[in-house]
Structure 1
């Protein structure tokens, strides 16, 4: 079966079917806002072809089919207005809030089984996945994060180049940053959940430190989290502009192989 595209409760997606017939488990992903920055491009970067599950890559707000006027400039304008309150937090919050309805629609549209869903998030998509995990609104079978935005407080300074000036922290901004601090909220994630964090050796040092801190906190609560470092991997998983499917980079191939082994093991246990 070929790659499918569609919309689930208004959320665009790119779906890759498993090689097996009949209902199969479901893995839902959220892409990064760096390259690859659309669901189609993310599916090409991390196809996880060997996993016996549907891999459904959801589009983030204002990305891919939801880009304003087909351009990324609208996102940049939000970052310049307020990197945290107008850009990072609203994107992560909206993607998490629209997930339950999207998941229900996906279960109607695709031949997936009725077991718990698995999730994967990269960069800001990692904050979405962590938000979903922390709410524990429904069972999750396994989760993985790639170069995740574990603390939005750490991500904000990385956007100063877009804004053209250092971020001005307000009382509201500090409050929202606490909401998206998943090291502090690690205790809200189900203790028995298998969780893998993939961190690029060349990712932003602050994001690598946060990934290590998250795994440390999760291990303190349950002992079930794993951290894997990928040599030579920086933050992006694809070449710019990262809007359309592109040949898989060697570093992305390494991540893809790690995720394929991880999810295959979790789904067959």
Structure 2
């Protein structure tokens, strides 16, 4: 776990921050978004993916409708929302809101911690948090480097994969197909800018839901790096978390300049 931490909110977004060892004004700043499954809070994501040894601001953001921002009724209400309509209630609005609130949160964090406007920016996200990352990039986030862990690259594919796991086919209609089109980052590959992007997949993750879309994105976007972690499923948890963390740090250290 990060030894020195600062908790707070930035433009309404809860965060857990660890400062750099060096110059706090000029050091790079790395923002992360956790998964909806484990690790599913800023604290648990910081424990699993601490970005160990990276001399940068490491600021772990909380996703909407989770953690400190659970709705009334808590996890049971989230489960009810998911059963009622997973796409409309959770899978689309969570990354959509996270990406929308990102610019104001980043500005507030820069002001609060005295981070220079030209300090290099990195992004890290897992699963739905990686969808938020990719959407933020598509909407102009000025990141130099990003690491997407088990990313939801095409929400429709990920939703269908979850449905197969639970034996429930999601009832797509014109409205929800339009929503997931916004989160089709193979189709939007050209909008992701010139960020140095690494994708980290678990070898045991679902092929159609995660591997195939990630490989399609890498093919559509030359220069995208894709690494497969043997033995890992969807979640970057022990014993594989340390390997994922090392891959993230290696990439960020190389590209945050």
Q: Could you tell me which of 169, 187, 209 is aligned with 1:166?
A: 169
Which residue of the partner structure matches residue 200 of structure 1?
202
Taking structure 2 as the reference length, what is the TM-score of the superposition?
0.92
Which residue of the partner structure matches residue 261 of structure 1?
250
* 2:185 is the alignment partner of 1:178: no
SS at the partner of 2:8?
strand
Structure 1 position 237, deviation (Å): 2.1
Which residue of the partner structure matches residue 229 of structure 2?
230
Aligned equivalents of 2:24 and 2:88: distance in 1? 44
Aligned equivalents of 1:67 and 1:159: distance in 2? 22
Structure 1 position 59, deviation (Å): 0.2
Aligned equivalents of 2:173 and 2:165: distance in 1? 19
Aligned equivalents of 1:193 and 1:101: distance in 2? 20
Q: Could you tell me which of 96, 99, 104 is aligned with 2:102?
A: 99
Which residue of the partner structure matches residue 5 of structure 1?
7
Which residue of the partner structure matches residue 18 of structure 1?
20
SS at the partner of 1:7?
strand
Give the paired residue count. 252
SS at the partner of 2:240?
helix
- Runs (5+) with no aligned partner, structure 2: none
Structure 1 position 215, deviation (Å): 0.6
- Runs (5+) with no aligned partner, structure 1: 239-248
Aligned equivalents of 2:54 and 2:92: distance in 1? 31
Contact 1:30 1:126 in 2 (8 A): yes
Which residue of the partner structure matches residue 62 of structure 1?
65
SS at the partner of 1:148?
coil
Structure 1 segment 37-76 matched on structure 2, within 5 A? 37-69=40-72, 71-76=74-79
